[in-house]
Amino acid sequence: MMSRASQMNERMNNPMNTAADVLDLAPVVPVVALDDVAHAVPLAEALLRGGIGTIEVTLRTPAGLPAIERIAAEVPDMVAGAGTITEPGQAKRAVDAGARYLVTPGATDRLLDDLDGVGAPYLAGAATASEAMRLAERGATAMKFFPAEPSGGVAYLKAIAGPLPHLRFCPTGGISPETAPAYLALPNVGCVGGSWLAPKDVLAAGDWTKVEQLAREAAALR
């Protein structure tokens, strides 16, 4: 049987062609809003040491794009994604910076057209069955479920698995280490997004040993 480390290496070394590939990168995708670009590389290295091979750097702060660029250039084994893509133009800038996949909180036709034009895998956000079906009509089989907890959480995903068995999700929003296992046990969940792997106070303190520990615990969830 292939070890967890070997499985992670295989996933990272294989090219990502679809959003479904993103769901298999790690059981927990760290969702991080960085305020200091200098934290990008040591954070990525600590996550890797802990067994988490991907990071979603959100574009909520000015440090987002340069942080992705630093990670892509200096930590090539880390699969960097760009989150909080909300308007046309952001996707191309993120990919140009080195992002290998894109994540949106929701989906409009204009934004989806722009994402399709960029060509990188993306997880578009959906919070209802209708929104998920609309994305499926455009060919998506993997998407983000956001905001997960306020939108019904585990119970909601269980409910839509019956009528929409071909769709898989990355639930994000309000998920904790305590609730993540219940999500990951669902057949229509590939991974979860979580901000707890890189708390702001831990980043501010530069406590990369703590980040590594949190990553190791998250990697063991599946």
pLDDT per position as a tens digit, 169-186 = 999 999 999 999 999 999
Q: Residue 79: which H helix or E strand, with range?
A: strand 79-83
Give the type of residue at 2.
M
pTM of model > 0.85: yes
Count of domains for the chain: 1
The answer to the question of residue 1 being in a domain is no
Q: Is the peptide bond before 147 cis (omega within 30 degrees of 0)?
A: yes
- Catalytic annotation present for 92: no
pLDDT 10s digits, 50-84: 999 999 999 999 999 999 999 999 999 999 999 99
- Catalytic annotation present for 144: yes
Domain that holds residue 72: 23-219
pLDDT, position 2: 34
- C-alpha distance from residue 68 to each of 10, 50, 175 (Å): 22, 19, 24
Indicate which residue of 45, 69, 144, 212 is catalytic. Answer: 144
Where the chain has pLDDT below 70, the residues are: 1-16
pLDDT, position 220: 97
pLDDT, position 16: 67
Indicate which residue of 45, 56, 69, 212 is catalytic. Answer: 56
Which DSSP letter does residue 81 get? E
The answer to the question of residue 3 being in a domain is no
List the CATH number of the domain containing 204: 3.20.20.70
**Beta-carbon contacts of residue 190 (< 8 Å; ≥ 6 apart):** 20, 23, 24, 142, 168, 169, 170
The answer to the question of residue 9 being in a domain is no
pLDDT, position 17: 81
The answer to the question of residue 196 being in a domain is yes
